[in-house]
A and B are shown apart, each in its own frame.
Chain A
Amino acid sequence: MSRRPYLREVSRTAWFFKRPRYLRYMAREVTCIFIGIYTVILLVGVYRLSQGRAEYEAFLMALQRPASVVFHVAALAFALYNSFTWFNVAPKALPIQVGEEFLPDSVVAGGHYVVWVALSLFILFWAGVL
C-alpha cells in the first residue's frame, strides 16, 4: 500500500484569525509599530534642534496639532500595552532558580516593573518634568 499523505494548506495572510491566542500575539507585535513611528518623530525632533531655534520651535508647534496629539495618546496606549505584554512573558526567558525552586513569575515580572518605573521617574526628573 503506497502512502499518499494529504497536506492541508495554512493561510499565509489570515492564520492569526484562527485562534484568539494568535490575535493576542499579533496585537503585541503590531503595537511596536507605533513605538517605531514615535522613535522616528523623536529623531526628527533632534534633527530640527540641530538646525536651529526657529526650526525646533516649528517642530514643537507641529506636535501640538490635534492629529499629532491623537497619535501620541494612541502611541502611549500601545506602548504601554506592548510593555505590559513583554514584561509579563519575561519570566519565561529569565527563570531564576533558588535551590530546588524557581522564583515565582510575579517576582521576575515585578522586578521589570520596578526598574521600569524607577527609570521613568529618573528620566522625568532629569528632564525637569517632576
Chain B
Amino acid sequence: MSPILTISGLHKSFGELEVLKGIDLTMQRGDVVSLIGSSGSGKTTLLRCVNLLEDFEQGSIELAGEKIGYREDGAGQRRRLSEREVARQRAMTGMAFQQFNLFPHMTAIRNVMLGLIKTKKMPKDEARAVAEKWLERVGMAARSDHYPGQLSGGQQQRVAIARAIAMNPQIMLFDEVTSALDPELVAEVLAVVRDLAVDGMTMLLVTHEMRFARDVSTKVVFMHQGRIHEEGTPEEIFGAPKTERLQGFLANSEI
C-alpha cells in the first residue's frame, strides 16, 4: 500500500531561527500518529506545513501521491504553486486549531456548510445534509442554529472538528485541540477525536494528553528542537523510552 503522507527532509526557518531541521515521516491510511514534545519543539509548525499555512525552504510533502505546495519548473527550480492550486490542496487536509477559529458571524451549521458550498461547489441542500450528518456525529445536532458565541468551548471545538472533517479530507490534523479548554470540557472533545480514530480516519495530532496519545495512536513521535528524537508504538514510547530526553520529558508529563 502506498503511503497517504510522506514528509521527507523537511526544513523550515523563521528568519534566522531554524524550527524544523529535517523531518521525515510516513503515514499509511488509517494511521493515528501523535506528536509529543516540549513547547517550542516545532510540532505546530510541522502541522502548519502539512496544511500549507507555512512556507518551507527544503524537503517535500507528498499527500495521496501528490507533491503539495511546490513544484519544480523546467530548470529544476522550486516554485510555490498558484494560490488556487494551494487552496485546492489545503482542502485535502483538515485542520482543527487550538483556538477553534469558528466564524463568529455564522451559525454552527453555516460554519460547516461554507467550505462545502464554496470549495466543493455542493448545492446548498446537499451541503446542509452533509453538515447535519457531521454535526450529529460530534453531538452538536441540537445546536446547529447556535452562533459560536452561544456555545461552550468544548461545543465550539466539536463544531470546528465537524467543519474540518465534513470536507472529507485525506488526513485530519489536530493541534492541541483541548489545551484551550476548561478541564471539565476536555473529555467531550477527546471522545469525538477517539471516535474518529476508531472509525479509521487518518490523523496526525499534537497533544499534551499522554494517556490519550497512548490509547488512540498507532505511532507516537517525540520531537525535540526541530527534529524527531524518538518514535515508536505507544508501548515502546511510553513503556520503554530509549533516549534520556524522552525519559525526562515523560517524567515531567502527567500520565
* A and B held together in a complex: no
Residue numbers of B with Cβ under 8 A of A are none
Residue numbers of A with Cβ under 8 A of B are none
